[in-house]
Amino acid sequence: MSTRTEASGDAATIDSRADLVAVFARGEKPREAWRIGTEHEKFVFRTRDLRAPSYAEPGGIRDLLRGFTRFGWEPVEEAGNVIALTGPDGGISLEPAGQLELSGAPLKTIHETCAEVGRHLFQCRELGEELGLGFLGLGFHPTAARADLPVMPKGRYAIMRAYMPKVGTLGLDMMLRTCTTQVNLDYASEADMVRKFRVSLALQPVATALFANSPFTEGRPNGFRSFRAHVWTDTDNQRTGMLPFVFEDGFGYERYADYALDVPMYFVFRNGRYIDCAGASFRAFLAGCLPQLPGERPTLGDWKDHLSTAFPEVRMKSFLEMRGADGGPQGRICALPAFWVGLLYDSIALDSAWELVKDWSMESREALRLAAPRHGLAAPSPCGRTLQALALDVLAIAEAGLQRRAALDAGGASEAGFLSPLWEIAHSGQTLADRWLERFHGPWGGDVTPIFTEARF
């Protein structure tokens, strides 16, 4: 989740609806300026007992964050606590239970992205060795109950923890027990955004299945390949899901702004603190009628904050965020941007992907969203085939798109090589979750704790 930082112009008061829409329009970039932003989260655990460290304990999350400053990262504080860092590789931030996130810098190629990930994980391992901490690449915590997990000192999380149980049964699990990998991509125009939004939203369940990596809850199989993805189906239906309106005629920046306006608020940030506005209307705020700030109208920063509190399968800010994948090992972190860049940054690939999904009904898209977390690649697809067969077609389109992009490393290799782990999964039909389940029922003898060694970065 986002860590709040002030950008130039964010203090400007919103004067009209056009100001809301302008945030999306300002994201437009020519093709040569398109970039790739990759974010990934991982669980932090104490190697001596496999428990999640608290913020303030010796060798805990605070000491971990301070440790990153030796690598040139600058601390970001809230109420006197270091809660994030900024640096040349983007930002490091905390999820609600101390999951550690790298929000990478916008980069030109996946080669650069993978180098960035490598630098970050090297730093994590060096600090982990000193502090007795390990880092786990999974989509859902394999052993901890909610009550076992610490809470980080970030004001927005306290508001969300109080609100989540009012709007769904799994929101606290989303906050405390999940990790994801996501990719942020650009668009050239409103029409380009619409095409990319529709294709990526329809194919998000394919990514969910290929990256499924969360089959355990509290030490036992949970019946899902991606329990993390299932959690989003009952977190808060007013701010999650497949957004049927994206496929309707006339969809564009204004329609997404209408959607975001109807997402209930969480908070407003003023004078260094978060004001609880959970459930309030941003439309009322626009009219100067927010009960918590009577007579005050929102700023551009308030709107950007609010956009970060919607959690659909694809989210728009001034770029598009792909949100369907579980956290996982280093190769999968590099594979996710390869998957989406291959599909969305090449016009031929984008057209081919649209041909695959353009005739799907909303009912079939929703059915796929619900089936993929439980069944993985064995789920039925709207094409009348398995999701595995669809994934093979989609990967072929993505690979061709990356080959045409011709972004080569120093050795002359294209970005298509980063798809290799996904090809292996798609050909075998076995996700990482399936392989963990085999080990649980086989050599692990029903004990899930070996995963802390085998899924450790």
Which pLDDT belongs to residue 2? 57
Which pLDDT belongs to residue 9? 72
3-state secondary structure of 386: strand
Q: Read out DSSP for 178-203?
A: B-EEEEEE-BSSHHHHHHHHHHHHHH
Closest CA to 220 of 44, 376, 377, 451: 451
pLDDT digits (tens, 9 = 90+) for 295-318: 999 999 999 999 999 999 999 999
pLDDT digits (tens, 9 = 90+) for 144-175: 999 999 999 999 999 999 999 999 999 999 99
Residue 102: CA atoms inside 13 Å, Cβ hemisphere, count?
29
pLDDT digits (tens, 9 = 90+) for 92-106: 999 999 999 999 999
Q: Read out DSSP for 122-188?
A: HHHHHHHHHHTEEEE--SB-SS--GGGS-----HHHHHHHHHHHHH-SSHHHHHHHB-EEEEEE-BS
Mean pLDDT of the region 194-209: 98
Using a pLDDT cut of 70, give the percent of the chain over it: 98
Which pLDDT belongs to residue 6? 56
Q: What global pTM score does this model have?
A: 0.97
Closest CA to 120 of 104, 96, 141, 143: 104
Which pLDDT belongs to residue 8? 52
> Is the Cβ–Cβ distance between 335 and 220 less than 8 Å?
no
pLDDT digits (tens, 9 = 90+) for 215-254: 999 999 999 999 999 999 999 999 999 999 999 999 999 9
Q: Which residues pair with 361 in a beta bridge?
A: none
> Is the confidence at residue 4, as pLDDT, over 60?
no
Q: pLDDT band at residue 383, thresholds of 50, 70 and 90?
A: confident
Q: Which residue has the tokens 């079939």?
A: 364
Strand residue runs (E) in 231-295: 240-241, 267-270, 273-276
User: What residue ranges define each of the domains in the chain, with the CATH number in brackets?
Assistant: 17-454 (3.30.590.20)
**Phi, psi angle pair for 40, to nearest 5°:** -145, 145
Please enumerate, as own/partner, the contacts of 250-253 that have beta carbons within 8 Å and a separation of 24 or more. Answer: 251/194, 251/197, 252/190, 252/193, 252/194, 253/21, 253/24, 253/25, 253/190, 253/193
**Beta strands 74-78 and 36-46, pairing class:** unpaired
Which pLDDT belongs to residue 140? 99
Residue 274: CA atoms inside 13 Å, Cβ hemisphere, count?
20
Which pLDDT belongs to residue 1? 57
Neighbours of 402 (CB within 10 A): 25
Which pLDDT belongs to residue 381? 95
> Is the confidence at residue 5, as pLDDT, over 70?
no
Which pLDDT belongs to residue 7? 59
Q: Cα–Cα distances in Å, from 2 out to 91, 93, 245, 417? A: 10, 8, 25, 31
Q: Which residues pair with 2 in a beta bridge?
A: none
**Phi, psi angle pair for 72, to nearest 5°:** 95, 5
Residue type, position 408, single letter: L
Per DSSP, 28 falls in state B
pLDDT digits (tens, 9 = 90+) for 273-293: 999 999 999 999 999 999 999
**Phi, psi angle pair for 134, to nearest 5°:** -120, 165
355-376 burial by CB neighbour count: b if 16+ within 10 A, else e? Answer: ebbeebeeebbbbbbebbbbbb
pLDDT digits (tens, 9 = 90+) for 52-90: 999 999 999 999 999 999 999 999 999 999 999 999 999
- Our separate counts of H helices and E strands in the chain read 17, 15
42-53 burial by CB neighbour count: b if 16+ within 10 A, else e? Answer: bbbbbeeebebb
Average per-residue pLDDT in the chain? 97
Neighbours of 300 (CB within 10 A): 19
> Is the Cβ–Cβ distance between 238 and 226 less than 8 Å?
no
Mean pLDDT of the region 112-133: 98
